[in-house]
Amino acid sequence: MIKKIVLFGGTFDPPHIEHVRMAKRASEQFCPDLFIVMPTANPPHKTAFYGEDGKSRYEMCKIAFDGIKNLLVDDYELKKGGKSYSFETVRYLSEKYDGAKIIFLMGTDMMATFSQWKNPEEILKYSVPALCQREGEGEKAEKTLSEFKKKFYKDAYICDYIGKNLSSSEYRFSKMSGLDVDGFLTEKTQKYVLENNLYKSDRYFEFIKNNLKKSRLEHTVGVILEGMRLSKRLNADMGKTILAATLHDCAKYLKKEDFKDFKIDQGVPEPVIHQYLGAFVAEKILGVSDEEVLDAIRYHTTAKPDMSLLGKIIFVADMIERGRVYPEVEELRCAVNEDFEKGFILCLERCVEFIKIKGQKIDGLSLKALNYYLKRENKNGSD
């Protein structure tokens, strides 16, 4: 008889090595009669971009998690289709397994937003959360757990495995960019990906693979990931964010002379020409027609007055992505996390200061943008 279940749900696009390690440790820690891995069909809080279909993710889960005691990869949500809601899944499992205790594994961010889930009280009626942490989340995890208990008057388990910072998104965009992805997946999972030609590059990624250096590709992936994080937090358009981030530096090493129809005003500083040429290439060569995306590419280095949210996200992500290591970057990251709009202005201020320190010519557009946002901030502050 099944008395205890551990439920591990997720997109698993693909299931990476840290998913597997965490699942193995949770199985050892909680000793369930059944360990269920549940690939989602269409999670309501996330839209898959450049991801694979349910069949491929289901097969990868069977391969990746093979060897875990009492394992079942359950296709309930995939077969059900549509949006996947956890309250329906835990209710289904409770009914199917006659009221078995369900331990629901969830990450720190998941638990932090648990109150925003659909019918959270019903989830807690059928299951007990188990908090799974990543490296560097100690203080945040403690606060999240404390706030969860205060709000729901329920206890929760803590999985004693601390996962490394690895993500399926990082794997997907690194692979499509032609970067090294060794160590992301189990050997058998990676073999399945290669044999089935999964996570293929489209014309945008083929272009940057052929025109950017390895270090610039790594930077681009960093901007994509940071842009996705900000986009999710700010409820921006994720698809546009990914496209703009992918192509923001597409013309970094191209020569303007090679594009006879490309026009630019005299006096534009050399280091910022690539933003204008990048927008030109994105539109004329790669067929991007979305003006908001093109604008985000066109001003990602200088900024401009009255930018769209997408434009601000790309500007900020370019400055604070994980690969940036200049002295002030942690200050900027903290500012952006605390208040995005104020963080954006601070990024713009620092950008102008960096150029002054280097003794380079400051693009007039950057000064106009800085004056515009400082004036608006002062006006809002005085209201």
The full set of domain ranges for the chain reads 4-168, 201-382
Alpha-carbon distances, residue 279 vs 40, 298, 300 (angstroms) = 36, 5, 10
Cα gap 208→202, rounded to integer Å: 10
Contact 358, 351 (CB under 8 A): no
The CATH number fitting domain 4-168, selected from 3.40.50.620, 3.30.70.2190, 3.30.1380.20, 3.30.70.1350 = 3.40.50.620
Q: Name all contacts of 287-295 with Cβ < 8 Å and 24+ positions apart.
A: 287/203, 288/243, 288/247, 290/240, 290/243, 292/240, 293/240, 293/243, 293/244, 293/247
Name the nearest CA neighbour of 365 among 374, 353, 352, 354.
352
pLDDT value of position 22: 96
pLDDT value of position 20: 97
43 preceded by a cis bond (ω within 30 of 0): no
Residue ranges in the chain modelled with pLDDT below 70 = 42-48, 380-383
Within this chain, domains 4-168 and 201-382 share the same CATH topology: no
Name the nearest CA neighbour of 318 among 292, 338, 298.
298
pLDDT (tens digit, 9 = 90+) per residue, 154-164? 999 999 999 89
pLDDT (tens digit, 9 = 90+) per residue, 353-371? 888 777 777 778 889 999 9
Q: Count the neighbouring beta carbons within 10 Å of the beta carbon of residue 109.
A: 15
pLDDT value of position 45: 47
pLDDT value of position 376: 86
Q: At what angle do helices 309-320 and 291-298 cross, to 10 degrees?
A: 40
Cα gap 365→284, rounded to integer Å: 24
Both tokens of 72, joined, read 């079942």
Contact 223, 245 (CB under 8 A): yes
CA 247 to chain centroid, in Å, comes to 17
159: Cβ contacts below 8 Å, ≥ 6 apart: 22, 25, 26, 29, 105, 130, 131, 132, 133
CA 254 to chain centroid, in Å, comes to 28
In CATH, the number for domain 201-382 is 1.10.3210.10
By DSSP bridging, strand 4-10 and strand 127-134 are unpaired
pTM of the complete model:
0.93
Place of tokens 């604070």: 320
Contact 125, 15 (CB under 8 A): no
Cα gap 163→136, rounded to integer Å: 10
CA 50 to chain centroid, in Å, comes to 12
pLDDT value of position 18: 96
pLDDT value of position 356: 76
Alpha-carbon distances, residue 183 vs 18, 162, 222, 224, 367 (angstroms) = 10, 17, 18, 21, 44
